[in-house]
Structure 1
Amino acid sequence: MSKRKQQSETAPDISILGDNATLYPSGYTESQARRNEDKSRTLIDTMARFRSSPLEFFREVSLHVNGTGWRAYDNPIGAPMYFPGFTDRMKEMVMSSTMLQEKITDLSTKRVVVEKKEGLLTGDEAAQEKRYNQLKQSLEEVVDDMLDKMVCKMENKTFIRTQYYLATQLLTRAYHQGIHVSSEEVLKLRAIAQEAQKKKQSIVFLPSHRSHVDYISQQIISYRLGLALPTVVAGENLNFPLVGPFMQHAGAMWIRRSFGNDQLYSTTVQAYIDTLLQNGYNFACFIEGGRSRTGKLLPPKFGILRFIMDSVMSGRVNDAIICPVSTQYDKVIEVDSYITELLGQPKQKENLMDFLNASSILNLKLGRVDVRYHEPWSLKDFIQEQFLRSTDIPGQITEKGKWTNEGRIKVLRTMGYRVLSDINEVSVVMPTALVGTVILTLRGRGVGISELVRRVEWLCERVRDKGGRVAHFANQKTSTVVERALEVLGPAMVGKVPSLPEDTYYAVDRFQLSFYRNMTIHLFILEALTCAGLYTKFKLGGGDENYTMSYTDLKAQVGFLSQLFRGEFIFPTAGLDINLATALSRLEADGVLLLTRTPTAGENSSTTITTIQLAPAERDRGRENYDFYCFLIWPFIEASWLGAISLLMLTPPTNHIGEPWLDATATQDRAQLLGKTLYHQGDLSYFEAVNKETLKNAYLRFEEDGIIVPRKSPNLQIRLAENWAPTRDSEGKLEAKGKLWEFAEQISQSRREGKNRRDAGTVRTRVMGLVDLVGREGWLADGGKKKKAKL
């Protein structure tokens, strides 16, 4: 069966809009779509608002408060919740945890020993016993206070009914096309939830995280479909007056951003998670930790994931069902603030006024939300599978039938990246992502509407060919979908040139639009890296010889780039040889490349790729498809190059006295300043390259590769590893040679050519001069601190 046929027979979508859940059957016609669309609009328009129809508003609220039909939420699938005394019962179960009681006993005993050693206690056993009991009671009171702030308070069913109504009112004001889910996935999820309820097992939802709306959409879907609401892990930064208590009663579990060395707090969190999973309460945490400011998935955060895995690995919990979740938006409410943060402005602390000021956004039309659920899987089975695989590596993963510490870390990482891969697998590409991707991967200042529609159709085909999913268009014309996407993106992101024969659009804010482009890059990462590797030769232009590259040279550059971006993107686990062969085959089938193969010696009639050439047909059409893949990856290559070049700032000046350490955060800030200077002077093609998040990831990779060495003193400081440190000439100027410069040059080979970039000597001098100029500020600041310390 062809992929195109599979797409036409995919399961229908369900849209949740206010009180209405509408089934969109597969294969329905455009006229039906329009009728359904009109009906949805009517539903939105007639949803009672207090100002326009106060009596109707109170009537609708009353339906939720009293519980009519599905609103009653009387028998959700899962562990019982929303009854008086729920919180006290939960706290009592956590407090009685054997692990928590042992920790309290251990800390109390150790404190008695310390006080005795310091002479604060006599040798009298009765006095020691009394002190021990005081300490234990005090620690139990501390734990009780921790739990009061941490445990979600699912006490009142009337509250959750009202909360659902208010949440849908707010969400449908902003996302006027509602929340869409797959009927097939929802039916499967309900069946698994019913089975889990019988076994008293929890479903652990692990969603992607792009917006605070993620919390709301997940709870709305669970409520509307009759599933027990999950307890959702949330950072204490959101626990501000009025909003914090409201969210805690709706399922939020407040935890600190950092536990530090607080053993009691860490054990309390573990005991609470154990209790939830032991009693079959659904649970949710965001696999990326914080919200993605870039639009693509972030590397997994292992904090809460470690607690979940330890619950099952230790045997305290028999099993838990893992359910990766993808949440996609036509437009993310917070994108404006994300861009401000990524350009170097400090993140603003959440507060009530900012929350209330968001009300203006609620009157905008931001399109729809698409939530997709990967098929859930058993955590216990996953751990056992990893255990069986580990027998091939004795002593490293398991030893004498038990997990080693290294083994636990490896399994945890494998689990984290599997979840991310599952999320990518079910993610839906939204219309705004399609339009944003096309606009940012075309040469020229702007694009006509007919060309934009053609390239969106081409991109949809490529997404489907890769096994990806395009948002359900209800068989509408592509031109209609594009027009709606442009409307949602708005003139602040995509402008329209007036008074032209054809509507022509251009990127107004490329930085912000890149957020939506990044939602598609995971589908094409292998092809993008392959084309960037070929660019080292293809950028020379001219005759056919410069459009041909040996497989050996290509593999070397693609391998280098793959390692460079190993923490930035999620790659298939098949390995470099198979991944590169897969990408080349796809590009060949798409008419982008020509591959020359030679027979392999031996009995098997196999062939080996020897050279790769840009297909003549692709050259005739202006390299548009080849360029598409390059444009996807070039901003990230630029950011890595900027990160590598900025490391030259860590070279101490000739008159520096003392150790060569600089503050890590301040150095990254100066790297961003360097990037802005290089961009405005023409030595950097993409302003997205100064993205704070991408630069931070680059520095993490440099640390993993041993290029920079970190230390805590008390803030994080960094210096160059000795074998990576460049030299200065007799005048004290940085020299463009050495291991670090060669590393940056290898990255630069795959960079997009710029207006100044071909004059290598001049660029080398100018870039090095700017690096020294910007870096000098760091060493001056460091010298000032040392001078102040001496005084």
Structure 2
Amino acid sequence: MSKHFSDSSPDLSILGDSLQVHPPSTAADQTSQEQSLLEPYARFRSDPINALQEFGLHLTGTGWRSYDKIVGTDIFYPGFSENMRAMVMRQGKLQSRISELAQKRVEVEIHEGLLGPKGLDGEVEEHITRRLARRRQLEEELRQVADEWTDKMICKMDSKLFIRGAYYLCTQLLTRAYHQGIHVSSHEVTQLRAVAEKAAAKKQSIIFLPCHRSHVDYVSLQLVCYRLGLALPTVVAGDNLNFPVIGPFLQHAGAMWIRRSFGDDQLYATLVQSYMDTLLQNGYNIECFVEGGRSRTGKLLQPKFGILSFLLDSVLSGRVEDAIVCPVSTQYDKVIEVDSYISELLGQPKPKEDLFQFLSASNVLSLKLGRVDVRFHEPWSLRGFIDQQRSRLVKSPSIETMYDAAFKRKLLTTLGYKVLKEINDVSVVMPTALVGTVLLTLRGRGVGKSELVRRVNWLSERVRAQGGRVAHFAESTTDIVVDKALAVLGPKLVGRVDDLPEETFYAEDRFQLSFYRNMTIHLFVSQALVCAAVYTKVKLGGGPEGQRISYAELTEYVLFLSQLFRAEFIYPTEGLRETLDITLQGLERDGVLTTSRNNVVSNEIEYIELHPQERASGRENFDFYCFLIWPFIEASWLGAISLFMLTSPHHPTNTDADAWVDYKTVQDRAQLLGKTRYHQGDLSYFEAVNKEALKNAFSRSEDEGIITVQRPRGDGKVPPKVRLDLEWMPARDSDGGLVAEGKLWEMCERISQSRREGKNRRDGTTVRTRVLGLAELVGRDLFGDVGVGEEGLASRARRRRGSQARAQL
């Protein structure tokens, strides 16, 4: 039975020239509401007179378009850039750094004998004067460098006519691609405007911290702020986007450019800090992405602390009294860049940003990509957060504590994860994410339309039960919403089989669909981990008693998996035991799992197993949670198996130089190993070979001391090297082949316990032999033939033949 996709809170749609609140409506006015969402600006081809009239209204600044009465510090006036540059250059921190660097250089030149002899008895006026002159010269040169860097870095909000035209142009382009416009919650934007008015009265900045999935993120937030009359934020952007034509356009619309890496450049780091101080001291709004770069997988990335550390330091140091933090979630029916993301995840190099790449996006402007939803968490005081954390983390706060490095790191880490959690809290699950998730969590090749609608309804209810929100679609039925989602996803992602009694759909491109599934996974991570742990017993088969797991085993394995995926997911802030108990209660309440308790002693949970109701229904809900986590388990297993490639044929010791191999080459070979394993049937999910998941697996191995990575300092051209720790080095048999035993193999087996068992694959001796043989085959050239000798080469040849033979089993 099809349900209505309504939500208790109204939406406000921003589309072309219209801005309308959409409260929950009745079926009677459903058509008129839908029509208002589909009405963009007039197009020049179809309606040139109205299009020219709309353009003229923007140029002349009629009504709200004038952007004269904004909430916040004044921007877009002649001389803005010069004023900003002067304020940055006057910052005491910057001037002190310039003097310090000049003095250090003078001391080096004195040591080198360039400014008179060292160790003079008494003061020699000639040398003192010369050194002071040299210091002043160096200070002036450093100021010139800083001034040039400032000019290249700062945003240049100098022309109100420009921003009116830019708003019109960007809205035209955005609503051609996202034909249903930008949606926000009317409650959230009303709350945001009220906070902005109070912040403006105190001359405080709002720091917008959005998630980052697309270049459209910052465009959509700028358009929302412009239309609501809020001061546009200065957007922190990587200088890779500062290429001809587009770079200057973005800089005059609010972008500031920073290097992707600062290295050891103390002057540049201080300049960025001084710019942040200037913006915050004068109440200018700021936007930066807490994840750093764009997420290629659809889910939130771990926080990056670069710019966050500058913003935190401004307030923590007292140079800025306070600032307001506003986490922002931006969700899409379809993300423009997903095609390029998949190429990158499969190992293709990221194309350099240039005008051609930017304009190539115009190919999608004629497509109908649905809508963009921008949601704002309730803003909060950064000063209040600091004070709260200081009282929680420090027993006796003091001035020294404020500048303690350990305290700063804790504070910064807590800030980053708090923001990510709040982004997830306000995120809206889009219809495409619902459909994509359902298609990837069903057994079988395809699904009928009625079953697809039923599971979308079920998933929507589960999203709401987890405290999540489903995109507001007035009184549209689930059938209509599913049809819209299928149309947006298109036949390249979702295939359709015709000439059947019922419309039947299947996942055409599972890798791309996983991007949309990952937009929902944060809501169900705990349930997925618990069900994966239970699956370690269900996988063994047999009767119900043989498929149950003890509470102690469950806790241990859930902890193991949560550690395995600590770089993949943002976990609940509660402790493991509390989260586990809450999750079990929910799964038991939903009839997925059931628990047996020790009623005699303490009424504690003893065993967990599938609920009879779930068995009767064919495990569809239990399988749903397993399907969510299985691709990540596969990726972790592949990451662990690929470490066998690091087994040196030379039986290395701690001092063996030839045990080190190129890190990037190893990661590339790991991806090749995964692709081979997938096509040969030992991996169930092709997405498990994606570059980001493997990178996370290698990072975890490095954190746990399984591998050691050697990263040369100061020379970015020297590639990092990697080696397997001797304690984790696998043994070889008498023929030189890898043996399936030892710590590394035990870890692989531990992960494999919850891997999905393929229909035609059973983990056993044959698989072990084939997997290890292929790992050695793929990684056989990593170490080269240096120092092996004729006997070693002959032995290696025998091992290769043995590996190839075993791989045929």
TM-score range, shorter chain: over 0.9
- Partner residue, 1:789: none
2:742 to 731, 738, 741: 738
1:103 to 72, 97, 101: 97
Q: Tell me if the contact between 1:83 and 1:155 (Cα under 8 Å) persists in the aligned partners.
A: yes
Q: Tell me if the contact between 1:387 and 1:398 (Cα under 8 Å) persists in the aligned partners.
A: no
Q: Tell me if the contact between 1:683 and 1:756 (Cα under 8 Å) persists in the aligned partners.
A: no
Indicate how the Cα distance of structure 1 residues 775 and 756 shifts in structure 2: closer, same or farther if over 3 A, else same.
farther
- How do residues 624-773 of structure 1 correspond to structure 2 at under 5 angstroms? 624-654=620-650, 658-713=657-712, 714-773=718-777
Gaps of 5+ in 2: 118-126, 713-717, 789-809
- Partner residue, 1:616: 612
2:248 partner SS: helix
Residue identity in the other structure for 1:631: F
TM-score by length of 2: 0.93
- Partner residue, 2:123: none
Asked if 1:500 corresponds to 2:500, the answer is yes
**In the aligned structure 2, how far is the partner of 1:39 from the partner of 1:428?**
21
1:607 partner SS: coil
Superimposed CA distance per residue, residues 87-109 of structure 1 (whole angstroms, 9 cap, x where no aligned partner)? 11111011000000000000111
Q: CA deviation at 1:259?
A: 0.4
**In the aligned structure 1, how far is the partner of 2:19 from the partner of 2:787?**
65
Q: Tell me if the contact between 1:203 and 1:282 (Cα under 8 Å) persists in the aligned partners.
A: yes
Asked if 1:556 corresponds to 2:556, the answer is yes
**In the aligned structure 2, how far is the partner of 1:775 from the partner of 1:103?**
49
- Partner residue, 1:788: none
1:351 to 342, 345, 354: 354
Superimposed CA distance per residue, residues 121-169 of structure 1 (whole angstroms, 9 cap, x where no aligned partner)? 2352222222212111111111111111110000000000111000100
Q: CA deviation at 1:49?
A: 2.8
- Partner residue, 1:777: 781
**In the aligned structure 1, how far is the partner of 2:554 from the partner of 2:401?**
43
Q: CA deviation at 1:292?
A: 0.3
2:308 partner SS: helix
Asked if 1:67 corresponds to 2:64, the answer is no
**In the aligned structure 1, how far is the partner of 2:229 from the partner of 2:341?**
34
**In the aligned structure 2, how far is the partner of 1:473 from the partner of 1:608?**
44
Indicate how the Cα distance of structure 1 residues 415 and 650 shifts in structure 2: closer, same or farther if over 3 A, else same.
same
Superimposed CA distance per residue, residues 30-75 of structure 1 (whole angstroms, 9 cap, x where no aligned partner)? 332221222343x32xx33334444443322221111011001101
Superimposed CA distance per residue, residues 657-701 of structure 1 (whole angstroms, 9 cap, x where no aligned partner)? 634112221111111000000000000000010011111111111
- How do residues 272-421 of structure 1 correspond to structure 2 at under 5 angstroms? 272-392=275-395, 401-421=401-421
Superimposed CA distance per residue, residues 438-486 of structure 1 (whole angstroms, 9 cap, x where no aligned partner)? 0000000000000000000000000011110000021211010000000
Asked if 1:29 corresponds to 2:26, the answer is yes
**In the aligned structure 1, how far is the partner of 2:787 from the partner of 2:361?**
44
Indicate how the Cα distance of structure 1 residues 401 and 265 shifts in structure 2: closer, same or farther if over 3 A, else same.
closer
Q: CA deviation at 1:398?
A: 7.6
Residue identity in the other structure for 2:33: N
**In the aligned structure 1, how far is the partner of 2:501 from the partner of 2:308?**
56
Residue identity in the other structure for 1:622: G
Q: Tell me if the contact between 1:236 and 1:254 (Cα under 8 Å) persists in the aligned partners.
A: yes
Q: CA deviation at 1:354?
A: 1.7
1:165 to 163, 168, 171: 168
Q: Tell me if the contact between 1:143 and 1:268 (Cα under 8 Å) persists in the aligned partners.
A: yes
Residue identity in the other structure for 2:130: A
Indicate how the Cα distance of structure 1 residues 782 and 460 shifts in structure 2: closer, same or farther if over 3 A, else same.
farther
Indicate how the Cα distance of structure 1 residues 102 and 536 shifts in structure 2: closer, same or farther if over 3 A, else same.
same
**In the aligned structure 2, how far is the partner of 1:239 from the partner of 1:594?**
57
Pairwise CA RMSD: 1.8
Q: Tell me if the contact between 2:317 and 2:402 (Cα under 8 Å) persists in the aligned partners.
A: no
- Partner residue, 2:17: 19
Q: CA deviation at 1:410?
A: 1.1
- How do residues 2-17 of structure 1 correspond to structure 2 at under 5 angstroms? 10-17=8-15
**In the aligned structure 1, how far is the partner of 2:603 from the partner of 2:191?**
44
**In the aligned structure 1, how far is the partner of 2:27 from the partner of 2:326?**
34
Q: Tell me if the contact between 2:10 and 2:21 (Cα under 8 Å) persists in the aligned partners.
A: yes
Q: Tell me if the contact between 2:659 and 2:783 (Cα under 8 Å) persists in the aligned partners.
A: no
Gaps of 5+ in 1: 785-791
Q: CA deviation at 1:497?
A: 0.7
Q: Tell me if the contact between 1:390 and 1:398 (Cα under 8 Å) persists in the aligned partners.
A: no
Q: Tell me if the contact between 2:430 and 2:470 (Cα under 8 Å) persists in the aligned partners.
A: yes
Q: Tell me if the contact between 2:7 and 2:472 (Cα under 8 Å) persists in the aligned partners.
A: no
Q: Tell me if the contact between 2:182 and 2:373 (Cα under 8 Å) persists in the aligned partners.
A: yes
2:209 partner SS: strand
Q: CA deviation at 1:540?
A: 1.4
2:153 to 150, 153, 156: 150
- Partner residue, 2:85: 91
Give the percent of matched residue pairs that are identical in Structure 1 and Structure 2: 62
- Partner residue, 2:578: 578
1:777 partner SS: coil
- How do residues 367-516 of structure 1 correspond to structure 2 at under 5 angstroms? 367-392=370-395, 401-516=401-516
Q: Tell me if the contact between 1:496 and 1:506 (Cα under 8 Å) persists in the aligned partners.
A: yes
Residue identity in the other structure for 2:11: D
Superimposed CA distance per residue, residues 388-413 of structure 1 (whole angstroms, 9 cap, x where no aligned partner)? 11235x8xx98954442111111101
**In the aligned structure 2, how far is the partner of 1:759 from the partner of 1:708?**
26
**In the aligned structure 1, how far is the partner of 2:7 from the partner of 2:640?**
48
Question: Is the deviation greater in 127-136 or in 588-597?
Answer: 127-136
Q: CA deviation at 1:583?
A: 1.1
2:705 partner SS: coil
Indicate how the Cα distance of structure 1 residues 226 and 781 shifts in structure 2: closer, same or farther if over 3 A, else same.
farther
Asked if 1:127 corresponds to 2:124, the answer is no
Asked if 1:187 corresponds to 2:183, the answer is no
**In the aligned structure 1, how far is the partner of 2:542 from the partner of 2:191?**
56
**In the aligned structure 2, how far is the partner of 1:781 from the partner of 1:435?**
52
Superimposed CA distance per residue, residues 353-375 of structure 1 (whole angstroms, 9 cap, x where no aligned partner)? 12222212001000000010001
Q: CA deviation at 1:782?
A: 8.4
2:572 partner SS: coil
**In the aligned structure 1, how far is the partner of 2:671 from the partner of 2:719?**
20
2:257 partner SS: strand
- The structure 1 segments of at least 4 consecutive aligned residues displaced by more than 6 Å after TM superposition are 781-784
**In the aligned structure 1, how far is the partner of 2:422 from the partner of 2:600?**
37
Question: Is the deviation greater in 487-496 or in 612-621?
Answer: 612-621
**In the aligned structure 2, how far is the partner of 1:542 from the partner of 1:148?**
71
**Paired residues, number:** 769
Question: Is the deviation greater in 527-536 or in 398-407?
Answer: 398-407
Residue identity in the other structure for 2:667: Q
Q: Tell me if the contact between 1:662 and 1:782 (Cα under 8 Å) persists in the aligned partners.
A: no
**In the aligned structure 1, how far is the partner of 2:36 from the partner of 2:474?**
14
**In the aligned structure 1, how far is the partner of 2:768 from the partner of 2:7?**
56
- Partner residue, 1:178: 181
Q: Tell me if the contact between 1:398 and 1:404 (Cα under 8 Å) persists in the aligned partners.
A: no
1:776 partner SS: coil
- Partner residue, 1:77: 71
Asked if 1:227 corresponds to 2:233, the answer is no
Indicate how the Cα distance of structure 1 residues 595 and 516 shifts in structure 2: closer, same or farther if over 3 A, else same.
same
- Partner residue, 2:804: none
Q: CA deviation at 1:20?
A: 0.6
Superimposed CA distance per residue, residues 212-238 of structure 1 (whole angstroms, 9 cap, x where no aligned partner)? 000110000000000000000000111
Indicate how the Cα distance of structure 1 residues 549 and 523 shifts in structure 2: closer, same or farther if over 3 A, else same.
same
